[in-house]
Structure 1
């Protein structure tokens, strides 16, 4: 019987486990055929010698007890056994009688003549033994010629005792040291286990996919019980699988130098075997690497995005005098379905990749060097995004007459690589040169421009959008708009996206004819029902607006200038500003970088959700009392939500339940294109009091990445996040939270 690790593919459950089976045959390739001790059929998968971690021994009850007593120092039991055994042997040997049987009168009666044997009692004329047929029933017959003396009988007895003693001592010296032993199921018997029955853990660090010269191979091993005795590091050519011992290390660091210069180039397997001080061992799964001391193929990375015709350059390192041809191939990312781009390339192995014929998506690239039947593959260049289509872009009409400082606004989107920047430009009629007003890299693509720097006349306006791949699109021109700064200009400042309580409304007014007054007005969004909130005839033009007097909802804001000549000038409208005076609403969203990289979501970063009042914590997640609980932090690229690549979104999840914190638009680019990343996290709550009102703050601390670590980006832009809560969260009185989004307070910064 042997103990071995049965691989996952051999188990019905698909999980690796330890088995104790008997070996029934050995194959010609050195593997063993096993079967369960109660199974007629053999196991489906043979095992090799390296899988065996122990051998079972059968112990027969009582036969080895004297050896066990001697080994364990139980000398009282051993002395009693010795005494009883000696008495039993002596009794068996000395109990044989040495007395000859006495003759009776019948002994002298001659034999019957009718026997026909000539008077010799049918003995063929031979003399019959005097004791034959006359044994005493109370004694053991002993022939006269075989009689033994008492000294001889004692010698036999002590010889038997000595033989048993020698067998006991020898048996104790070879007592089984199996990791697990057991006797039969008798009530007096017990099961015993060694101090260490678990094999050690071991891991071998990969030296890389391609190695050359001398590389350091490092293993990590541990054993919580008996400790590590040694770690063996081995290599084998992948074609043969013949393992070669590279080094054995008995102390940390478990490492050795591998001189690959002495080996033929090719693919090799590496593994480490750790043995603990109890004799148990564990072997790592093989790691595959390529030795390339004499020849390597390298494909230059064309960059994260590609469009049009892109040059793909291949380099052959140390090709020697062997002639090679090179082909360059592409595959849709992660599909491993390779197709040629260029074939039979000669030095200098440049390939022009025409991406215009491909769909806009991510691709993998590689080069292949061929010489006769020898094929060598290059490094893999992954996730090159092909994008040959420009963004969608449009410009909002600034109005027929433009004066003073005016807001110009564009909309832009790109489904592939994302929008890199938007430029807002103007062109004076009769000229051919477009002039840039502002360059914007983040939404909203709007800016306020002082038109007083422009000469009086008619102008055209447009927006130019460029995506991350370099494709450019131009909006339709808004033409024949008059810039007139000789009369009056007025604009209303944006009071903010979300309004509550008393809000200060401000307007900027200018008129060469003098200002009579400025009226600041509001109207339900999309209507013409304007209500004057204040009339101001002094500068600056400001007034307070108590939003508690209106119904919560979206409102437009504008200002009207009346100059001294009696002419009115109406400002551009600031649209869709939400009034929200709900008892419970989102108050703020903030993030803090932990000990990781600034601008990158990583372990230790925190995200704080602030409410305007205390909330019922069980409405945030069922059964929660505010104590720290584990959660999952999900980061998704904005393209997955049709928000653009620079509007990545974070939400909080919990296994087996819900977390009702809504979602956070980071307004940043933290994840690669169309990727989703998961982190461990911890959620807890605290309470702060502001202006006498207690508020709940839910804080989520980001943990380690559990999925998608290779898709993380470091965001380089500064922006304010936007949190959109849900009505599922309620305050302590049962009032549901408003869904009005809240923008991160404070100056622009790189979050996380």
Structure 2
């Protein structure tokens, strides 16, 4: 106990230094730091403690749920069991499968459920998005319902997870300063006493104390204990905040489901009124070495050429610019010695002065600066004796022996096919001794104990089996325009064509009547061009390998057009707008009139569409005056003697004037190989009206949607469209895509093979003559499977798109299923 002597000064408050003029700055800084740390630790505690109740938290990565949920917020979600009702209007956490993600990686998503679909799935959307999500949500995907929002606390973890190190560094420095200010920059009274910073310390008068020595020791221990407590508190704070950052850097969810425009339904476009330039690249030869000149030719009839870039594609690499020229000649030197040997593709890209670009068809060459052996590729389909040749590049003076090996496709079990010891390295492949199947081939050059191998040529089909062919019976007597049919099939390479021939009975010379390349193998022929006599008819089927079979002839079928004969032409399976009806008629008594009639299919209730007195017997029927449906057609001939002859009926032709129908189909090459399906190619399907995009595929509003494009060879069983009838359709995992199918009328896939592509589908609305019309565009990505089954087509063809009736307009009117032929000039499409 201290005693105050009479006349001594009163000791000031122990908090006086804190509230002195100098102490206010430290006091306010420490108070602000403690408040900041207190709020931060409280938020962290709120984010962690609910885990005791089975809740789990994730850090939001994006801002599509703003203003309610922002990036860096922690959302706590309660578990979602099978018996719980789906909260329409609430925010849920769910798993988005890999096939619904543009990245192809499964993700955790956080969005609001805005509606329930009739099929039991749900529509989700971000609060900040103008469009709903493109993929419907299934109940089993929901992993939790959002219950509590903790703002901002996940930002440091988000910065760490996203690699935003500058932001994380600034926050770390700020927080460490707050820890120092809060813990170390306010001195306790014990520390003041230890340093003698009290007013009494300056007093020279003696002080009488009654404290015992043990009390002095306890008092001296207090400042040291305070320092230890401060250090422990600082370390604890830093550790807790570090743990919070590490935990939140691994528990992300995203509020962004798909990209969306602000108003997809109000997107308008206009037709292009300019022409891109033309460009070609000259082939430098089958093989090149050292330095070689590459030359392109380009022209533009409007604004002129701005520049031409020549590129090369190395094996397994990407297109690489070699040079850019702004004036003719568009030539550059290619130093192939800096490149690895192998097969290269070359192309040129021309840009005109309006900014339009065109990519040329690719040229192929092989760089062979060092020794290489290359097997010349045979045809994709072979039969009989096939010549195989190998070429040695840069062999020097070394004598090589060369053998050709084969393996069943994909088996990688190689056997010697033939051996040659001197140039030219050629041998004959007797395919007739092999099983009809797909084979891989390669060449091997050997010197001493060293063997060099060529790149394998894969999937060469051996087909020595002829197709089957049967001629249909056309009937007898034959008059006017008659139908001739044949049946053909081939189990190996597929049917290339069927030729139908005729010969007068007793003659040995056969004349071509028609050639058909697609099933059904039938054609119409005007028999009035033949003299009256008995005839024989036969069919010759040829497969893709060149094997052919001649059917057994149908003999003694009388062609007799000397009496009255009449027939009606088939106007096609679908009749729209003004349809042209044609008939053929002949009579020895002369043709007085010819009537072309229609009847609702199967009712035998005939309506005359036109009456004709002279050839050519044709007229226009405005099908819009009839109800949509199926109709039978016939022609009735009245001869000079007033005798009537009725033609055979062409049955079940469909009148279809639905205002919603396919309008056009177009394909365009991207930056890849012309005539070959590859990444960047587009397929555009245009409707005559605006359609309800949700009827194309459930939940779709037109924004970018991951889909799969399937390309199938026309010889695959069930298609039957032939080698030049490869078919494309669009698929989507878990949902239908009701866009029908497209017959490319070309050969893009190897025989009986299938290729799939990752792709993206979008839609927009165009205004034509004041009418809104929907255009669906599918952009190909990388092949997903079967890339080795692709081939480059040189065919210029008109594609045919067959829509489905599942698509409707906003009023619910179903689409016509009438096939749509590609408009415009013939091209190689992809």
2:596 to 511, 520, 524: 520
Q: How far apart are the structure 2 equivalents of 1:654 and 1:443?
A: 29
TM alignment of 1:495-510, pairs within 5 A? 495-500=571-576, 503-510=579-586
1:698 to 760, 775, 790: 775
The answer on whether the counterparts of 1:517 and 1:535 sit within 8 Å (CA) in structure 2 is no
Aligned residue for 2:802?
724
Match of 2:694, SS state, is helix
Deviation at 1:689, TM superposition (A): 5.9
The 1:342/1:185 distance shift into structure 2, 3 A limit, reads farther
Aligned residue for 2:702?
626
Aligned residue for 1:591?
666
1:336 to 412, 419, 424: 412
1:649 to 727, 732, 749: 727
The answer on whether the counterparts of 2:706 and 2:758 sit within 8 Å (CA) in structure 1 is no
Greater shift in the superposed pair: 560-569 or 641-650:
560-569
Aligned residue for 2:641?
565
Question: Residue deviations 1:326-365, cap 9 Å, x none?
Answer: 4322112232122332358676554332222434333111
* TM-score, reference length from structure 2: 0.50
The answer on whether the counterparts of 1:300 and 1:313 sit within 8 Å (CA) in structure 2 is yes
Match of 2:502, SS state, is strand
The 1:735/1:667 distance shift into structure 2, 3 A limit, reads same
Q: Does 1:492 align with 2:568?
A: yes
The 1:351/1:477 distance shift into structure 2, 3 A limit, reads same
TM alignment of 1:314-325, pairs within 5 A? 314-315=390-391, 325=401
TM alignment of 1:197-596, pairs within 5 A? 296-315=372-391, 325-342=401-418, 349-442=425-518, 445-500=521-576, 503-522=579-598, 529=604, 531-534=606-609, 536-539=611-614, 540-542=617-619, 544=621, 546=623, 552-553=629-630, 555-571=631-647, 573-580=649-656, 586-593=661-668
Q: How far apart are the structure 2 equivalents of 1:408 and 1:388?
A: 28
Q: Does 1:684 align with 2:763?
A: yes
The answer on whether the counterparts of 1:489 and 1:510 sit within 8 Å (CA) in structure 2 is yes
The 1:524/1:405 distance shift into structure 2, 3 A limit, reads same
Q: How far apart are the structure 1 equivalents of 2:418 and 2:570?
A: 56
Deviation at 1:548, TM superposition (A): 7.0
Q: How far apart are the structure 2 equivalents of 1:440 and 1:466?
A: 11
* TM-score, reference length from structure 1: 0.55
Match of 2:702, SS state, is coil
Match of 1:356, SS state, is helix
The 1:561/1:745 distance shift into structure 2, 3 A limit, reads farther
Q: How far apart are the structure 1 equivalents of 2:335 and 2:800?
A: 53
The answer on whether the counterparts of 2:493 and 2:715 sit within 8 Å (CA) in structure 1 is no
Deviation at 1:384, TM superposition (A): 1.6
Match of 2:469, SS state, is strand
Deviation at 1:588, TM superposition (A): 2.8
Match of 1:622, SS state, is coil
TM alignment of 1:146-165, pairs within 5 A? none
Q: Does 1:669 align with 2:747?
A: yes
Q: Across the two proteins, how many residue pairs are aligned to each other?
A: 484
The answer on whether the counterparts of 2:382 and 2:431 sit within 8 Å (CA) in structure 1 is yes
TM alignment of 1:121-136, pairs within 5 A? none
Deviation at 1:459, TM superposition (A): 0.9
Match of 1:639, SS state, is coil
The 1:184/1:337 distance shift into structure 2, 3 A limit, reads farther
Q: How far apart are the structure 2 equivalents of 1:213 and 1:515?
A: 75
Deviation at 1:535, TM superposition (A): 6.2
Q: How far apart are the structure 1 equivalents of 2:524 and 2:554?
A: 17
Q: How far apart are the structure 2 equivalents of 1:715 and 1:371?
A: 39
> Which consecutive unaligned segments of at least 5 residues does structure 2 have?
1-104, 106-233, 243-286, 293-333, 342-365
Q: How far apart are the structure 2 equivalents of 1:619 and 1:505?
A: 35
The 1:449/1:395 distance shift into structure 2, 3 A limit, reads same
Q: How far apart are the structure 2 equivalents of 1:190 and 1:551?
A: 73
**Higher CA-based Rg:** 1
Greater shift in the superposed pair: 695-704 or 528-537:
528-537
> Which consecutive unaligned segments of at least 5 residues does structure 1 have?
1-14, 16-182, 192-210, 217-254, 266-289
The answer on whether the counterparts of 1:630 and 1:683 sit within 8 Å (CA) in structure 2 is no
The 1:382/1:435 distance shift into structure 2, 3 A limit, reads same
Q: How far apart are the structure 2 equivalents of 1:614 and 1:579?
A: 22
Q: How far apart are the structure 1 equivalents of 2:825 and 2:510?
A: 31
Question: Residue deviations 1:295-346, cap 9 Å, x none?
Answer: 5444332222210222223445676787655432211223212233235867
Deviation at 1:415, TM superposition (A): 4.1
The answer on whether the counterparts of 1:584 and 1:730 sit within 8 Å (CA) in structure 2 is no
Q: How far apart are the structure 2 equivalents of 1:623 and 1:488?
A: 61
Deviation at 1:595, TM superposition (A): 5.7
Aligned residue for 2:819?
742
The answer on whether the counterparts of 2:665 and 2:823 sit within 8 Å (CA) in structure 1 is no
Moved over 6 A (4+): 183-186, 188-191, 211-216, 255-261, 290-294, 318-323, 344-347
The 1:552/1:748 distance shift into structure 2, 3 A limit, reads farther
Q: How far apart are the structure 2 equivalents of 1:655 and 1:705?
A: 17
Deviation at 1:428, TM superposition (A): 1.0
The answer on whether the counterparts of 1:589 and 1:742 sit within 8 Å (CA) in structure 2 is no
The 1:487/1:256 distance shift into structure 2, 3 A limit, reads closer
The answer on whether the counterparts of 2:501 and 2:538 sit within 8 Å (CA) in structure 1 is yes
Q: How far apart are the structure 1 equivalents of 2:767 and 2:472?
A: 43
Aligned residue for 2:283?
none
TM alignment of 1:1-20, pairs within 5 A? none
The 1:508/1:605 distance shift into structure 2, 3 A limit, reads farther
Q: How far apart are the structure 2 equivalents of 1:335 and 1:348?
A: 29
Question: Residue deviations 1:132-162, cap 9 Å, x none?
Answer: xxxxxxxxxxxxxxxxxxxxxxxxxxxxxxx
Q: How far apart are the structure 1 equivalents of 2:415 and 2:725?
A: 34
The answer on whether the counterparts of 1:648 and 1:671 sit within 8 Å (CA) in structure 2 is yes
Q: How far apart are the structure 2 equivalents of 1:184 and 1:311?
A: 82
